[in-house]
Amino acid sequence: MGKRLLLRGNEVIAEAAIRAGCQCYFAYPITPQAELLQHMAVNMPRLGRTFIQAESELAAINMVYGAASAGVRTMTSSSSPGISLKQEGISYLAGSNLPAVIVNIVRGGPGLGDIAPSQCDYFQATKGGGHGDYHMIVLGPSTVPEAGQLTMLAFELADQYRTPVMLLADGMLGQMMEPVELPEPIEISSLPQKEWATNGAKGRDPNIILSFDLDPEVLKQMNLILQERYRQIEAKEVRYEETATGDADIAIVAYGTVARIVKTVIKMARAEGIKLGLFRPITLWPFPSQALKKLSEKVATVLTVEMSAGQMWEDVRLAIAERAETPFYGEMGGVIPTPQRILSEVKKHAG
Amino acid sequence: MDNSVVIAGFGGQGVILAGKILAQAGMNHGLEVTWLPSYGPEMRGGTANCTVVLSNDPVGSPIVDNPTALIAMNLPSLDKFESTVATNGVIIMNSSLIQRRRKQKDVRSFSLALNDLAQKVGSVKTINMIALGAYIKASGIIPLSTIQTTMAQMLKKDGKDKFIPLNRKALKEGYNALQE
């Protein structure tokens, strides 16, 4: 690890992508992720890699499809309305078994919304925002250093499972600065060869990449291959963090920046004698249902806190069923749940 | 105890940069820090603010209900944030642009004519450094020399070497201007 630098979340995600061996980056500008694109604009050409400011979000995601087909590590980034435009392309990536990284620095919605931080794209990210029976791995960083680490991981998982991976962070994490030790760069030449890539068929049979077959039985088989892979991902790649849950009477489930705000609330609550803990999903898909189910057998109340109307809350209730009380507190439109606001919600349900 | 400061003013008064220098200096001083800007339309001429948290422990929330300090560079900023300042917190208000007195009773409040002090140093553009110097004195969290060195490193990195002596002077002027 190198020295500590004070950097924005957006810059760290961009730099981590470079260090993960991202060779082609395509995007269209949008607030609040502009610094990510700026960092790539300055640094990718300097390294002899490809940076293209595309004419639209649709163009950018289809350039990603092309680069992924050619077997290189590739990424695009945007914010909510721009990510909506990319959904068709993401579905095609999933259907074609193509690895790629998509970054969503979420802002208030729906529609044009605003540019303030939000978590209102959870459904879109985790339930398949595009058409068809697909999932992608969704990672939710909580701090600026973790945004860097999970960007590196996103490229690893994308290649390993031949799937699109989304990094889902809100505008606050994109804009804020925090000390970070940047991850060590990987050697691009050390990455395993992608035997399936369409990178020149001289001396071998041509590879074909597509998400299409008119024969329902064949398309069913293609779907079963995807589903088999999703089961593997669910078995092996669930990630979460528990804080102060050992003796907790009440636990909050929160991800991303809301989870770090809750860490402050834990100190405030415990100073007042409320035994509060935090369960933080790091993978939003696959959702850590089993671990949360286990926790719900120990605590009386599991309070979900989100910057949305209760999107992750659905997964929380699916995991917990009737084992604990499952109240919800959310803010929308870019309003941030501050420590005091969360604490007063906790008090409503504690004891 | 966490130190948290909201720096607020008009776009163009340099509040975002002052916050960045404070956060960077805090990190250089061995503290954990976060810097959170109000981003967006504020940056284009309205009011701007940023929140800096400095702590010995990893920072949880980068957003603060009750900051331990407020630097109010203009009246709208004082109106907006005064009531949020924590008990026994610090308010530094720019009396060049703020005619009213404080409303909060249980705070340590300092009125400094930031614009006039900046003019005296040589440029009204240094008001953010005057304010930052005063905050360093009031909070005692980071030595003046650390802020000065950090400012110089950051301006140098941006190729603005020629402004370093002026800003160094402004930090010291603000530091000395604040009297208990």
* Domain range summary for chain B, segments of one domain joined by +: 3-177
Q: CB B172: neighbour CB atoms within 10 A?
A: 18
Are A139 and A158 a contacting pair, CB within 8 Å? no
Orientation angle between helical segments A144-161 and A216-236, nearest 10 degrees: 140
Please give the pLDDT value at position B102: 87
- For position B46, what pLDDT does the model report? 64
Q: Which helix (H) or strand (E) holds B70?
A: strand B69-72
Considering only CB atoms, B61 lies closest to which of A6, A175, A260, namely A260
CA distances from A252 to A143, A288, A299, B177 (A): 18, 14, 10, 46
Q: Are B91 and B108 in contact (CB under 8 A)?
A: yes
Contacts of B23 (CB under 8 A, 6+ apart): A6, A177, B33, B34, B35, B52, B54
Distance CA A310, CA A107 (A): 16
Cα–Cα distance measured from residue A238 to residue A304, given in angstroms and rounded to the nearest whole number: 19
pLDDT score for B1? 65
CB contact under 8 A, A177 and B60: no
Give the pLDDT band of residue B105 (cuts 50, 70, 90).
confident
Rounded Cα distance, A285 and A234, in Å? 8
Q: Quick check: helix, strand or coil at residue B37? A: strand
Interface test with B, best of A10, A30, A175 (most B CBs within 10 A): A175
| pLDDT at B180 (0 to 100) | 76
| Residuewise pLDDT in 10s, chain A (351 residues) | 469 999 999 999 999 999 999 999 999 999 999 999 999 999 999 999 999 999 999 999 999 999 999 999 999 999 999 999 999 999 999 999 999 999 999 999 999 999 999 999 999 999 989 999 999 999 999 999 999 999 999 999 999 999 999 999 999 999 999 999 999 999 999 999 999 999 999 999 999 999 999 999 999 999 999 999 999 999 999 999 999 999 999 999 999 999 999 999 999 999 999 999 999 999 999 999 999 999 999 999 999 999 999 999 999 999 999 999 999 999 999 999 999 999 999 999 986
Task: Return the pLDDT at B56.
Answer: 96
Print burial letters for A259-278: b (CB count within 10 Å at least 16), e (below 16). bbbbbbbbebbeeeebbbbb
Helical segments of B71-163, H only? 75-81, 114-121, 127-139, 144-157
Average pLDDT (B64-90) is 96
The predicted structure's pLDDT at residue B63: 96
Q: How far apart (Å, rounded) are the C-alpha atoms in residues A218 and A225?
A: 11
Query: Residue A346 to residues A61, A131, A265: CA-CA distances in angstroms?
Result: 42, 38, 9
Tell me if A5-189+224-236 shares its fold with A240-349: yes
Q: Are the C-beta atoms of B68 and B2 separated by less than 8 Å?
A: yes
Q: Report chain A residues touching chain B, CB-CB < 8 A.
A: 4, 6, 31-32, 114-116, 171-172, 175-179, 257, 260-267, 336, 338-341
Provide the pLDDT for residue A56: 98
Residue A71 falls in which region: left (phi positive, over 0), alpha (psi -120 to 50) or beta: left
The domain limits of chain A are 5-189+224-236, 240-349
Shortest alpha-carbon distance between residue B180 and chain A (Å): 31
Nearest neighbour of A179 by CB, restricted to B20, B33, B65? B33
Class of domain B3-177: alpha beta
Counted across chains A and B, CB pairs separated by less than 8 A come out at 72
Distance CA B125, CA B18 (A): 12
Return the half-sphere exposure (C-beta side, CA atoms, 13 A cut-off) of residue A192: 10
Q: Is the pLDDT of residue B118 over 80?
A: yes
Cβ A78 vs Cβ A27: under 8 Å: yes
> Cis omega (within 30 of 0) on the bond before A286?
yes
Q: Which residues of A touch B59 (CB under 8 A)?
A: 178, 260
> At residue A167, what is the residue type?
L
Q: What angle do CA A51, A52, A58 make, to 5 degrees?
A: 135
Distance of CA A144 to the CA centre of its chain: 14
**Strand A164-170, strand A137-139: pairing:** parallel
Selected residue of B49, B61, B66 to mutate for chain A interface (largest A Cβ count, 10 A): B61
Query: What's the mean pLDDT in B71-87?
Result: 95
Q: Which CATH architecture has domain A5-189+224-236?
A: 3-Layer(aba) Sandwich (3.40)
The upper half-sphere exposure of residue B21, i.e. CA atoms within 13 Å in the direction of its Cβ, equals 33
Q: Do B35 and A6 touch (CB under 8 A)?
A: yes
Decide: helix, strand or coil at residue B4.
strand
Question: What is d(CA B110, CA B176) in angstroms, rounded to the nearest whole number?
Answer: 13
Residue of A nearest to B66 (CA): A340
B40: pLDDT strictly greater than 70? no
Q: How confident is the model at residue B176 (pLDDT cuts 50, 70, 90)?
A: very high
Tokens of B164: 């370093």
**Which pTM does this prediction carry?**
0.96
Nearest to A146 by CA among A254, A260, A269: A260
Mean predicted confidence (pLDDT) in B53-70:
97
The domain defined by A240-349 folds into Rossmann fold (3.40.50)
Cα separation values, A99 from A4, A158, B16, B143, Å: 31, 5, 38, 50
Helix (DSSP H) and strand (DSSP E) numbers for chain B: 6, 6
pLDDT at B43 over 80: no
In the numeric block, the tokens 């060869």 are attached to A193
pLDDT at B44: 53
For testing the chain B interface, which of A12, A31, A146, A178 should be mutated: the one with the most B CBs within 10 Å? A178
